[in-house]
Amino acid sequence: MRGNDVRGTVADGFEPVREVFEAILDAEGADLCAQVAVYHHGDPVVDFWAGAEAASDSLLGTYSVSKGLAHLVVALLVQQCVLDLDQRVGHYWPDFAVHGKGELSLRELLSHQSGLAGATDGFSMAELADDRLVAERLGAQRPFWRPATASGYHALVMGALSGEVVRRATGQTVQSLFATHLRDPFKLDLHFGLPADQDHRFLPAQPMVATPERLRDLAASATAPNSLSGIAFNRHHPDNHEVWELPNLQVVRSAGPASFGAVGAARDLAKLYSAAIVPIDGIAPLLTPDTVAAFGQIQCVGWDLVLRQEKAWAVGFHPVSEIYPSLGAGAFGHSGAGGQQAFADPRNGLSYAFLRRRFHYPPQADADHKRILRAVYAAVEQVR
């Protein structure tokens, strides 16, 4: 069997997705372990995986897809009136209200507007895996930009900040609430803190296929390690590891930091996002239409000071329909640095997840997702 042979199941009408998935695998130029899953109105309609070492129950690093999982917990807490998006962060977390951050609201924090995209002096890997330490250090810090006047992707720390608000308000970590309220009821193979007895199912992440040309291109657009982008990716700290390596670090896998520490499978991501918007396993949708609308609402749009590109942010999620033109307004989810993606499209009753073991090159997998999504939505049109 070729490594790129696609395995899994697909519902009637969605077969064309396989072809697009295969084309993406073929274009990689090396064995690629990847998973793609789609739910439609609560039913799994695509569940494919590929890769020489991949099994049907393999687990992969999700990178920043983790932030979406953590923020589904935040959405539940807002729905339960435990948190209020228009409340000042300092209301829940008084130590945060320093250096001009006193008026910042929870919705502004969640849309990457706090200016705390990284730590002045960086973090060791052990520190970075410790959400509480990260939050404490950043909460005391002067923001890199004037809060609520611009956004910049809080790549490695957003979950620590939002998680600290959760902890202050509930006494529990966002990871623990995720396990209790999302993972367990839906039997999801998604883990903030992978149990040691499951670690054998984890397939370590792989770096992109590096060619001299690719390395030269990346170097040409590189920013300094202590630039704002460098700081957001912790490149200014001596103990730094490259982003692709993060899930391979034991300390990350076992602590499960909310920003990038979740490990799991695409089918469970798609199931979770489906459960957020439609009934599944006999359980009512997790989120009411009002909550869905509140978290899919676009909070800001403009130049992202970390990513150095135009960017729109919803509340703790990407407003993914700004990126993928086949989606409905209000679709919300979160991508991962290596080409991962997971979201719900409430208007179309769809959810989608894609994980890949090897980092994508160029560092932008949206073209791949666009192609798959075109096939998915064409299928939806047909089966309707």
- Part of the chain binding a copy of itself (CB under 8 A), chosen from 217-225, 248-256, 272-280, 358-366: 217-225
The reply to whether 291 sits near a copy of itself by the rule CB under 8 A is no
- Part of the chain binding a copy of itself (CB under 8 A), chosen from 68-76, 125-133, 185-193, 224-232: 224-232
Tell me how far apart the alpha carbons of residues 183 and 194 are, in angstroms, rounded to a whole number.
12
The reply to whether 321 sits near a copy of itself by the rule CB under 8 A is yes
- Amino acid present at 98: V
SS3 382: helix
Query: Smallest distance from the beta carbon of 150 to a copy of itself, in angstroms?
Result: 5
Tell me how far apart the alpha carbons of residues 70 and 374 are, in angstroms, rounded to a whole number.
28
Q: Contact letters (x/-) for a copy of itself, 149-178, by CB under 8 A?
A: xx----------------------------
Residue 14, both tokens: 């969605």
End-to-end CA distance of the chain: 35
* CB distance 3 to 236 below 8 Å: no
Residues in contact with a copy of itself, counted by CB under 8 A, come to a total of 44
Query: Smallest distance from the beta carbon of 143 to a copy of itself, in angstroms?
Result: 7
- Part of the chain binding a copy of itself (CB under 8 A), chosen from 6-14, 53-61, 245-253, 318-326: 318-326
- Amino acid present at 191: H
The reply to whether 367 sits near a copy of itself by the rule CB under 8 A is no
Of residues 112-151, those binding a copy of itself (CB under 8 A): 115, 142-146, 149-150
Tell me how far apart the alpha carbons of residues 254 and 382 are, in angstroms, rounded to a whole number.
44
Q: Which residues pair with 124 in a beta bridge?
A: none
What phi-psi label fits residue 63: left (phi over 0), alpha (psi between -120 and 50 degrees) or beta? left
SS3 318: strand
Interface ranges with a copy of itself (CB under 8 A): 86, 100, 107, 115, 142-146, 149-150, 221-224, 226-228, 230-231, 290, 293-294, 297-303, 305, 310, 312, 321-322, 325-330, 347-348, 377
